[in-house]
Each structure stands twice: as structure tokens, then as C-alpha cells.
Structure 1
């Protein structure tokens, strides 16, 4: 394991921000800290960077305990939400700045800068200043600057949140491709589930200063362990055990011990199938057309279910339907 977070705890003014957080990250993994605002993910990133000391716990990088090391000795490359570029420096000068601080030779700085400019697609803009760049271009420069000194780890704090959706989607692909090609371990903070699901090798889902679940994006989506993860990672229909016994009995064989009192069934919208049937128990209350897909709200047994349909579905609002589920996951309440 390249990074190990061991029982990290932090409180501000008597308020616990991180409460015994622990997880591990592989040598070339991109790990996303995912959770709502205030869950402690940025504080944890700052602790890894050495900008904030923990009250308790350890940060292990490789085989070294770096908990007490100052930021300059950790070899971390940081990219912030606000870019933090030097406005009076050109693109090339911004990227070369960390290498000049390390007193590397002009030839080394020039070669490394040219390589990074090419990797982030900014080779023809090296003489521009930050105010002459778009938001996406500025973030590419910030990323290249963070990589300039060959860091042991890359830390990204909500790097795409200030960009418009189209640029965000493009940069997700570019950052992931660059991270893979360099093989650099990366820790990224985000509250955007789409970013976490599309970019991460491992997702650390956090809530109220604690880790709810750690796993691959597919694992968290298909096998959420808690009600929070089921609702935060993707969309979910949560059904109590008593209702499952009556309407979806096939799932009872897979329920954990004690499921009657402490578990619910999480069924994703795409795992529900509805079909027109005058005698069906469900009624389509709302239809939202989304191009290749459509979302339906279906009233069924006193509940409102979200169902994902093909965009060409001919079902209509107010139509009676049968409801069938193909799969689901039991979660703790």
C-alpha cells in the first residue's frame, strides 16, 4: 500500500471534524474522498498534505510515517479549486516555478516544462498569462505545475467544481488519462458522485467525519452497506423488509441476519421494470424525458418509486402498471 490513513481524528473548537478515519490506497490508485459539504474530506486532504496537524492518528506514505513532517518534506503535488496561479508569470514560468525552488538546472526545467505542457495540451500557449486563459486551461496549468517536481503523490481539492459541465466532463477524462499514464497515486476530494464513479479506482465515502464505506465505484453503487451510501452514491429506492416480504419475496433468501429490524433493500431505478397493466398495483405519476432515457415516478404500495425507462417508452402519465425488480442490495438503516 502506498498511502495508509490510520485512525485520523481532528476537532475544531470542540467540534469533531474527523472521527477515527482509516483507509488504504494502492501505489498507482486514484482515490476519491466523496461526501457532502462538511463531512471532513478537505480537512483530511490538508492533513495528508501537512497543512493541518491531526489530533490523533498517523499518515503513512510508502514505508514512512510522515505525520509530523512539514509540507515541503512530503513531496506532495497540490491542485486547489481556485487554481492559485501566479498572475504575473507566464504559463511556462508557472509550471517551472517548483523546479526553480528546488534549484534544478535551466535545461532540466525547460525539458520538464515542455513535456508537461504537451501532456496537458498547452504547448502552444506557454507564453500566455493566466488572465488570458479559460478556466479549463488554468486548471490544466495548475495540474502541470503540481506535477513539475515529480511528487510522490498528487492531491486534488475539488479541482473541477468551478468549471462548466462540458469542460468538467472533458477534464475528468484528461486528468484520469494523465494520472494513469504517469502512474502517480492521487487523492482527490469531491462532492460530485459522477466524478467519483467515473474517475476513481477506490472511493472513500464519508459522512459527518466518519468513513461509511470504502470500495470500488461499482462496489459502492451495486453493494452499498448503509442507507447513506445507497442514497448518496446514485439514486435509490429503499424498501423496508416487511414490504419486501409481501411484494419481492425472492430477495428474502439473501437478507442478512436480523434484516427484519435493521435492514432495507436498495433497488436502483434501472433494476425496476414496469409494464402497462390495467390490473397493476402501480400508477405512473410523473414522466421525465431525458433523451435516450426517461425517468418515471410510480406510486406503488404507498411509496413513490423512481424507475429508469428507455427514452422511447410509450407509457403515459396516469397509466396503471405492474412493478418488478431484478436485483437489489441490503443496507443498514
Structure 2
């Protein structure tokens, strides 16, 4: 493993921020720390970077314990939400700055700067200044600068959150493509589930300073272990065991042992199927058209269910429907 986080703990003013967090990252993995604000993910990133000391636990990079190593000696490439570019330097000067600090040969600085700017699609803008660039372009410069020192690992702290949605989607694709082409291990903090699902090899889902679940995006989406993961990653319908027994008894065969009172059935909107049925127990309360998809809010057995439909569905609000499910996952309540 390239990075090992071993039982990290941290508290601020007596308030626990991280409570025994552990996980590993491979040599070319893209790992997302995902969770709501205040769950400890940025504190953990700062501990990996060497900007914040942990109260307990270890950070292992390769075979080396770097827990107490100064940030300047860790070879971490950092990209933050704020671009932190030098306003009086050109794009090329910003990217080359880390190499000049290390007193690298000028020809090497020029060559590597040009290569990195080409990689992030800014080769033609090398002579511009930061205030002449868009937000997305500035973040590309910050990314290129973080790679200029040939870091052992790339650390991204919500790098896309300040950008417009369309630019954010485009840049996340570019970052993922660049990371794959360079093979550089990356740890990214985000509270955006779509970013994590689209970019990560592994998601570390956090809540209140603890790890709720670790796995691939598909694993956490299709097989969440807890109610928190089911609710935070994607949309979900959570049904009690008692309701499942009455309405969807086939799922009881897949229920974990002892799950009678402590587990719920998680049904994603696309897991549910509805059909127009005058005798059906469900009624369409609301229908939201989303282009190729539509979301229907169904009143059913005293509950409100979210169902995903084809955008060209002929169903209408007020229509009675029967409700069935094709699959689901049992989660700890």
C-alpha cells in the first residue's frame, strides 16, 4: 500500500474530530473522503499533508512513518478550494515556482512547466496572469503547480466547490483523466456525492469523525451498510422490517440474521417499479420531468416513495399505481 492511515484521532478544545480513522490507498488509487461538513475529512487531509498533528495514530507513506515529519519534507502536492495563485506572476511562473524554490536547472523548469501546462490544456495561456483567467482555468494552474514538484501524492481539498456546475463536471473528468495518465495516488476531500461516485476508485464515507464504510462507488451505492450511507450517497427509500413483511415479503429471505428490529431495507428509486393500476395501493403525488428520466413521488401505505421512471413515461399525477421492487439492500438502522 502507498498510504496507510492507522487509527488516527484528533480533538479540538475537547471536541472529538477524528475517532480512530483507518484506511489504505494503493500506489495509483484515487481515494475520496466523502461526508457532510464537520465530519473530520479536511482535518484528516491536513494531517496527511503535515499541516495538523494528530493526537494519536500513524500516517505511513510507502514503508515510512511520516506522522511527525514536517510538511515540507513529505512531498505532497496540495490543491485547495481557493486557488492561491500569485497574482503578480504569469501562469508559467506560478507553475514553475516550486521548481525554482528547489533551485532546479532553468532549462528543466521551462521544459516541465510547458509539459504540465499542455497536460492541463493551458499551454497557450502561459504568459497570462491569474486575473485574466476563468475560475476553471485558475484551478487548472493550481493543479499543474501542485504536480510541478513531482509529489509522492496529490491532496485535493474540495478543489471544485467554487466552480459553476458545468465547469465542475468538465474539470472533474479532466482531473481524473490526468490522475490516471500520471498514475499518481490521490486523496480528495469532497461533500459532493456525485463527484465521489464519478471520480473515486475508493470512497471513505465519514460521519461524525468516524468511518461509516469503505469501498468502491458501486459497492457503497448498491450495498450500503448503514442508514447514514444509504441516505447520504444517492437517494433512497428506507422501509422497516415490519413493513417489508407486509408488502414485500420476498426480501425477508435476504435479511441478515437478527435484523428484525435493527435493519431497514434500502430501495433506490430505480429499484422500484410502478404500473398504472386502478386497484393499486400507490398514488402518484408529484412527477418531476428531468429529460431522459422522471422522478415520481408516490403515496404508498402511509409513506412517500421516490421512484425513477423513463422520461417518456405516460403516467400522470393523481394516477393509482401498483408498487413492486426488483432489488434492495439491508442496512443497519
Whether the TM-score (by the shorter chain) exceeds 0.5 is: yes
Instruction: State the match for 1:278 in structure 2.
Output: 278
**Which residue is equivalent to 1:82?**
82
Residue 279 (structure 2) pairs with residue 288 (structure 1): no
- Answering whether residue 157 of structure 2 is matched by residue 165 of structure 1, we say no
User: 1:10 aligns to what?
Assistant: 10
Residues 106-143 of structure 1, C-alpha deviation per residue, up to 9 Å, x if partnerless? 01101100100100000000000101100000000000
Q: Secondary structure at the match of 1:251?
A: helix
In 2: Cα distance, 1:34 partner to 1:109 partner: 35
Measured after TM superposition, the shift of residue 246 of structure 1 is: 1.2
Q: CA deviation at 1:71?
A: 0.4
Q: Deviations over 1:128-184 (max 9, x none)?
A: 010110000000000000000100000000000000000000001100000000000
TM-score by length of 1: 1.00
Corresponding residue for 2:200? 200
Q: Count how many residue pairs are aligned between Structure 1 and Structure 2.
A: 333
The residue correspondences of 1:174-213 to structure 2 (distance < 5 A) are 174-213=174-213
SS in 2 for 1:51: coil
Distance 1:27 1:232 in 2: 28
Pairwise mapping of residues 84-233 of structure 1 onto structure 2 (< 5 A)?
A: 84-233=84-233
SS of residue matched to 2:261: helix
| Equivalent position of 1:38 in the other structure | 38
Gaps of 5+ in 1: none
Q: Take 1:226 and 1:68, find their aligned partners in 2: how far apart are those partners?
A: 34
Query: For 1:6, what is the secondary structure of its paired residue?
Result: strand
1:329 paired to 2:329: yes
Q: How many angstroms does 1:47 deviate by?
A: 0.2
Which residue in the other structure is 1:63 paired with?
63
Calculate the TM-score normalised by the size of structure 2.
1.00
> Which structure 2 segments of 5+ residues have no match?
none
